[in-house]
Chain A
Amino acid sequence: MLPLAGIVVLLIASTACAATSTTSTSGSGFDGTVLEPPQPKPEFVLTDTNGRQFDFQKQTAGRLTLLYFGYTFCPDICPVQLAQLAAVMNRLPDVERNSVVVFVTVDPERDTSQVIRTFLDKFDSKFVGLTGTVDQVEAAQRAAGVPVAVKIGDGADYSMGHASQVIAYAPDGLAYTQYPYGTRQTQWVHDLPLILDRS
């Protein structure tokens, strides 16, 4: 039965390696979607979950910044993206120390500061949550270069169609990559230290 054990080890190892291997896009060395040319960090001021003004460009300067537009009632994509980020930050303490995850709601009508805080705390209490007026939030999305979210449906149970990618700004203030829904933890772990080095 020893050959049997050998076959099992080889098969599992090969498939496990395939699952965790990294494939960079466009030869850049990144696993994420490369932005050509790199995008500058947008300027906007919103309100954080403590009710204070948060100047996105100023208060994230010099740090790896992961910007995500979503909403707390999102049933699928937002919780998965945030859970992925929380898991990866937990694995990379050096990256976590020098980075900030910023969640901007696209649904300010329902997402009060308290609702956002409660939602983010399920993933990581260090995640920054921002809200503002509908106009401010739309302006922030335009500044970041993502499509402005649209309301789908009527009544209290409406949903929001919104950009699902996380934009990663390096400490030099430029976004070289973004990460669509479906990005694996192995891809995050591969890219974040590389982005952090771009200072």
Chain B
Amino acid sequence: MKLWCAALNKPWSWHWIAYPGVWFTVLLPTIVYLVAVRRHRNTDRKTMWTFLTAMVIFWVASDWPVGTLGAGYLASVHMLEYVLYTLVVAPLMLLGTPEWMARRVLGKLHLTRAHEWLAQHLFVSGLIFNIVLVITHSPIGVDTLRSSQLGSFAMDMSWLASGIILWLPILNPIKEQRTHSFAAKMVYLFVSAGIVPIVPASFLTFASYPLYSTYELAPRVGSLTALQDQQLAGITMKLGMVPVIWGALAVMFFRWAAQERAT
């Protein structure tokens, strides 16, 4: 039985594959969330639907066919998964987490201080996000982790965790920890997720040869060569981040302007 998407080393097929590990990983937090929200009647519907949207995207990015293609066939889909995990699922999860729930979860997991510390130290949050990005997109990282279900699971979870860490200083559910100025948050997001990732993306886009043996030696899907697929992965990393990062920057800018006008 396959629990999580990993490289299959066989020709791609559109025959559905069940990944119960993915369902469990998506359903467990969703059910716990819904039960908690039902008990605590203070949660508005928008927040709840934001979290549920995050979980649906998380499921789509992790399960067959996207998860399977990204794990063993196409570097471009691997990159799409990364963008979805870090730039869509992670911020939506933070936006969908009510403050009371964040306090309770962090308290139970003894993560309150670590959470607060990460939220305050922008450089550390940005560093962690980019270290995870580099390790999980280095040839040795991808080829090692994608070859097993456990490794692939670890990679996907590290993406989600690094995405949450990236967005924590900006979308912190706990009000008193939102201490950074708009300018600091904008510079932080622009550098951490808008500038630094261009470096690895450029390696992928402009490399002369395929960097990952996982995707180079995989049976081809469609008409893309391994190198074209890798170039598409680089472009996905570069351009996939643009709407989210610039969108977030625009929102912060206008909120900042509104705040200035009000004072």
Q: How far is the CA of A184 from the CA of B191 in the complex (A)?
A: 35
Contact of A151 with B by CB under 8 A: no
Whether B11 lies near A18 (C-beta < 8 A) is: no
Contact of A12 with B by CB under 8 A: yes
Contact of B131 with A by CB under 8 A: yes
Question: What sequence of 0s and 1s flags, for each residue 172-199 of chain A, a beta carbon within 8 Å of any chain B beta carbon?
Answer: 0000000001101110010000000000
CB neighbours of B213 from chain A (8 A): 19, 182, 184
Contact of A79 with B by CB under 8 A: yes
Whether B191 lies near A1 (C-beta < 8 A) is: yes
Within A1-50, the residues touching B (CB, 8 Å) are: 1, 4-5, 7-9, 11-13, 15-16, 18-20
Whether B200 lies near A1 (C-beta < 8 A) is: no
Whether A76 lies near B199 (C-beta < 8 A) is: no
Which secondary structure characterizes the binding site on chain A? helix
Q: A5-B195, A76-B10, A83-B225 are in contact. Are A19 and B139 (CB under 8 A)?
A: yes
CB neighbours of A4 from chain B (8 A): 123, 126-127, 130, 191-192, 196
Segment of B44-52, B93-101, B113-121, B204-212 in the binding face:
B204-212
CB distance from A168 to the nearest CB of B (A): 18
Whether B130 lies near A185 (C-beta < 8 A) is: no
Which secondary structure characterizes the binding site on chain B? helix
- A16, A75, A91, A181: the one contacting B207 at CB < 8 Å is A16
Q: A1-B192, A8-B199, A80-B219 are in contact. Are A185 and B209 (CB under 8 A)?
A: yes
Within B138-154, the residues touching A (CB, 8 Å) are: 138-141
Contact of A87 with B by CB under 8 A: yes
CB neighbours of A76 from chain B (8 A): 9-11, 219
Which of A1, A91, A186 is the most central at the interface, judged by chain B CB atoms within 10 Å of its CB? A1
CB distance from A31 to the nearest CB of B (A): 13
Whether B209 lies near A189 (C-beta < 8 A) is: yes
For the complex of A and B, the 3 pairs showing the least CB-CB separation, nearest first, are A15-B138, A19-B139, A75-B11
A sample of 15 inter-chain contacts (CB < 8 A) reads A1-B196, A5-B195, A7-B134, A8-B199, A12-B199, A16-B138, A19-B139, A20-B209, A75-B219, A76-B10, A79-B220, A87-B227, A184-B210, A184-B213, A184-B216
